Structure 1
Amino acid sequence: MFNLKTLAKTAAITVAGLAFAPAAFADGHTKVLRIQSVLPTTGDEIKMVRDFGEDVYALTGGSLKLEVLAAGAVVGSRDVLDAVDAGLVEGGFAWTHYWGGKHVAANLFGAPIAGAGVGLDALSFLSWFQYGGGKELYDQLWDEMGVNVKGFMLQPVGPEALGWFSEPIASMDDFRKYRFRAPPGMVGQAYKDIGVASVAMGGGDILPALEKGTIDAAEWCCPVADMAFGFQKVLKHYYLQGLHQVVVNADLYVNGDFYDALTDTEKKALEVAANASLSKSMSYRILANGKALKDLTDNHGVILHDTPADYFPAYMGAAKALLEKGAAENEFFAEVWQSQKDFADVAVPFWAGAQASNAALGKAHADSLK
């Protein structure tokens, strides 16, 4: 990986300057926030980023416009956060656990493994984030990481599907026969720790890898996003229940200097639109995933299975060991995880208990449709 900060300070300082000059004021008064994604612009998540951008544009009366760039448009996907930090692009869109190599605590915001080990789901995670001290810790993360970035959480998703297989799996022994695409960071490491040959790669690389036989099983997200990448063309056995990413959040990163130069109204518009995106993305995904799952099973020959029972204790054991290791080795990680555990001690007994009967009723309805 090249050093983006050095690049920005030498020959590319002109590029960085251009990013905040004509790009920032495209028509003399509209500032343009270019956001490089780690996904192709056809990705389902990008539709929601554009919706977020439309809200920002409307809330600012047209003074701030978002432009979404595809993966690789300016830098490689692995360099997106560094590019935002260095000012080579004003914004980035990715999952914060992608940067777990910069700081282990990034895992607890992007994808707190196995619901942080305490049963957090997407909604209870948002409760922690917005009202349980999570946002303040999230803002602190960028300083801990040493990057000049302002972050906005945009798209909570979850729970994610366990994944796709060429044949049914009845046990962990079956699972371990596969070379499996898994997310980076702690989530993928837990798979390695329970004997699964996990490989991290970007969403757009998964289908070609399956077609070439580089991998022979995969997970990405959930029915609507998985279908968009075309996994159903190669694999037909689909498992919904997984622990690896009960919660996963896609975020916007804005260069700190660009953000500081915005007006108070523009900063508030980003905040308000981000909060709206949290709700809209979850609402959209429930219906969209339902439609996609029905399409996959009705029209593409996909067979839905229940996840083998021995997966859950195996994965949870590995997840908790990684969480405890992270807390022992990094003070900020320990602080964030303790905050999540303290929140869960209060909120999860209510939230899990209140949902149990309705979840059972929902499963009974789903079973009646088979």
Structure 2
Amino acid sequence: MERRSFVRKAGLAGVLAAGSAPAIVHAQAQIRWRLASSFPKSLDTIWGAAEVMAKKVSEMTGGKFQISTHAGGELMPPFGVVDGVQQGTVEMAHTAPYYFFGKDETFAIGCAIPFGLNSRQMTAWMVEGNGMKLMREFYRNYNIINFAGGNTGAQMGGWYRKEIKSVADVKGLKMRIGGFAGRVLERMGGVPQNIPGGEIYSALEKGTIDAAEWVGPYDDQKLGFNKVAPNYYYPGWWEGGPQLDFYVNTKAYDSLTPEYKAILEAATYTAHVDMQAKYDAKNPIALKQLVGSGTKLFRFPKDVMEAAFKESMAVYAELSGKNPNWKKVYEDYANFRRDQNLWFRFAEAGFDDFMQSQKL
């Protein structure tokens, strides 16, 4: 018996020494999840984050954990994914949280609010600040656990049929604008429309809307907005650094082993970084092409920016007085934003201002 025991131990030692011991994940059960996206497949940047995440999960589990990705409308409407995850219809979703501000305005803080954090600041708040903790406490009400799902970086201010020369031109403007920012536009006299990405072009072309915003040059060029609205404005004051999220059904997440949970989180962070890298690399090229083909580029007039800022702060104050969820999360967010802007005004802004004035 001692000899057999020795042989068994020696055999195992030999396998380990050879580096061919099966990974822990190989012993895990086969898992198949479905992910419902809010985005069309034509937008390889924002839709692509879901594919990047799913591919990485498969690679790190030797194919044991598979997540099939489905574009907006395939399994459910683009704006139906929160209900889908909450009810367990799908295990996972990829979306922009501010689409769901109608359920509770606090959703928007997890993505972007007007005059909020830029992309680096948002990641800092989520990862090193209290952002992830506070948003996860909030999402428990919806049977959801969230993971970072990408960031577009600061966005453009959209496409307009007519020039915006002053805040007076916002009056009566029918504009497709994402989620929560519509509240501010409405207070400025505009008429916000919440339309999924795949439907914006036809609405703009038919004149159902007067203006539309999506993300930035790369996506906007793909969607063809320049063909129906020649005036392109910046900056997107409502989206300084919008974070996308992966939503996971709590029961589905709790059923995972610790190893699979760690792999899923690592894969979401890979997708998070990948998305903004794509946008930052592709947007400059697309912007040059758009301007070269006749797009007219404008900065928003100062009075438009000032009016938008004033109305945004008024909205936040009102919400803090009536929505306890908002108040709890926004107070922490606002304090973090104040300190971040104090820091960024020196090193980051100082460096950027100099570099962008150089002829390189």
**TM-score, normalised on structure 1?**
0.85
Name the structure 1 match of 2:186. Answer: 192
Change in 2 beyond 3 A, CA 1:215/1:71: same
Residues in 2 aligned to 1:240 and 1:287: alpha-carbon distance in whole angstroms: 19
Q: Displacement, 1:334?
A: 1.2
Residues in 2 aligned to 1:177 and 1:359: alpha-carbon distance in whole angstroms: 36
Residue 178 of structure 2 is aligned with which of 177, 180, 183? Answer: 183
Name the structure 2 match of 1:173. Answer: 168
Q: Is the 8 A contact 1:327 1:333 kept in 2?
A: yes
- Whichever residue aligns with residue 130 of structure 2, its letter is G
- 1:169-211, CA deviations, whole angstroms, 9 ceiling, x for partnerless residues? 22122233532111122x1110000111221111111101011
Q: How does 1:99-178 map to 2 (within 5 A)?
A: 99-115=100-116, 120-143=117-140, 146-176=141-171, 178=173
- State the number of aligned residues: 332
**Residue 342 (structure 1) aligned with residue 343 (structure 2):** no
Q: Displacement, 1:309?
A: 1.3
Q: Is the 8 A contact 2:31 2:66 kept in 1?
A: yes
- 1:305-329, CA deviations, whole angstroms, 9 ceiling, x for partnerless residues? 1221111110001111111111111
Residue 231 of structure 2 is aligned with which of 229, 237, 240? Answer: 237
Q: Displacement, 1:349?
A: 0.9
Residues in 2 aligned to 1:345 and 1:230: alpha-carbon distance in whole angstroms: 37
Q: Displacement, 1:48?
A: 2.2
Identical counterparts, % of pairs = 27
Residues in 1 aligned to 2:145 and 2:333: alpha-carbon distance in whole angstroms: 22
Residues in 1 aligned to 2:326 and 2:247: alpha-carbon distance in whole angstroms: 20
Q: Displacement, 1:276?
A: 2.4
Q: Displacement, 1:360?
A: 1.7
Residues in 2 aligned to 1:326 and 1:177: alpha-carbon distance in whole angstroms: 25
Q: Displacement, 1:278?
A: 2.5
CA RMSD of the aligned region, Å? 1.8
Q: How does 1:1-370 map to 2 (within 5 A)?
A: 30-44=30-44, 45-115=46-116, 120-143=117-140, 146-176=141-171, 178-185=173-180, 187-298=181-292, 300-365=293-358
- 1:12-63, CA deviations, whole angstroms, 9 ceiling, x for partnerless residues? xxxxxxxxxxxxxxxx953222111112222231122211221111122222
Name the structure 2 match of 1:4. Answer: none
Q: Is the 8 A contact 2:158 2:212 kept in 1?
A: yes
Larger Rg: 2
Q: Is the 8 A contact 2:170 2:188 kept in 1?
A: no
For the residue of structure 2 that corresponds to 1:114, the secondary structure is coil
Q: Displacement, 1:167?
A: 3.0
Structure 2: unaligned runs, 5 residues or longer: 1-27
- 1:261-295, CA deviations, whole angstroms, 9 ceiling, x for partnerless residues? 11211110111122222222222211111121112
For the residue of structure 1 that corresponds to 2:33, the secondary structure is strand
Residues in 2 aligned to 1:194 and 1:32: alpha-carbon distance in whole angstroms: 47
Residues in 1 aligned to 2:233 and 2:91: alpha-carbon distance in whole angstroms: 38
Residues in 1 aligned to 2:242 and 2:210: alpha-carbon distance in whole angstroms: 24
Q: Is the 8 A contact 1:161 1:222 kept in 2?
A: yes
Residues in 2 aligned to 1:335 and 1:295: alpha-carbon distance in whole angstroms: 44
**TM-score, normalised on structure 2?**
0.87
Q: Displacement, 1:260?
A: 1.4
For the residue of structure 2 that corresponds to 1:266, the secondary structure is helix
Change in 2 beyond 3 A, CA 1:362/1:304: farther
